[in-house]
Amino acid sequence: MIDRIGQGSLAKSAIEAALKRQAEAQKRLEQAASALDGSQPRKAEESNFSSTFAEGLRDVDSQVKLGDKLTQQVIEGQVNDFAEVAATLKQTDLAFKFALEVRNKFVDAYREVMRMSV
């Protein structure tokens, strides 16, 4: 299906990247499901969380950098397809807002734990 999209097209690369992220997310979900049966030790679960969290931060960072790069290319006149630019910038905005909400949830959880009396 995506073979009919133009060569070197930003849309094609975005679709391929989304498909890759979906396959990676499915693999992580399968690993998490296998971990729920108790076959993996606790240490592996902790490292899995930290690696997944770090990977998510890297993904958001790369998307923000891509948005900045596209904005610069538009200013320089190197990009002519504004629909792809708008879609990519919207995706970047959503990824950043999602990361911000995750951070806010962590801060709220930390505050809640700090309010607990021992």
Show pLDDT as tens, one digit a residue, over the chain (118 residues): 445 555 556 666 777 777 788 778 777 777 777 766 555 545 555 568 788 888 888 898 888 898 889 888 888 888 888 888 888 889 999 989 999 999 999 999 999 999 988 7
The CA–CA distances, whole Å, from 68 to 3, 4, 14, 97 equal 27, 28, 16, 16
> What distance in Å separates the CA atoms of residue 17 and residue 4, rounded to the nearest whole number?
16
Query: What is the pLDDT at residue 97?
Result: 92
Say if pTM beats, i.e. exceeds, 0.75: no
Query: What is the pLDDT at residue 1?
Result: 46
Domain positions in the chain are 9-115
9 phi and psi, to 5 degrees? -70, 140
Query: What is the pLDDT at residue 114?
Result: 93
